Amino acid sequence: VRIPRKIDEGLGILLEEIAGGRGDGVGITIVSGLVQGGVSEKSGILEGDSVSKIAIVEHETGEEVAAVGTECFDYDATVDSILSLPAA
């Protein structure tokens, strides 16, 4: 799924942890909704999806310039990974 990035705007996804909470960073975090009018609204992401990786791709070349894995992360680790990506 490709999500266009906009300056000073988030990804437009709401996340929910459905397993974890042990404090070890391991868990299952899913998409619990999409922000109305947000950049992800028409991306094909659905409520209940699990995000395993987020990558930043150069628009012109399609080359991946940064990526983070989020598979089997609890909520906090998922958000920390996403926030570690460079800003738009």
pLDDT at 74 over 90: yes
Cα dihedral across residues 52, 50, 57, 13: positive or negative: negative
Mean pLDDT to the nearest integer, 56-72: 87
Residue 58's pLDDT is 83
Strand 13-19, strand 28-34: pairing? antiparallel
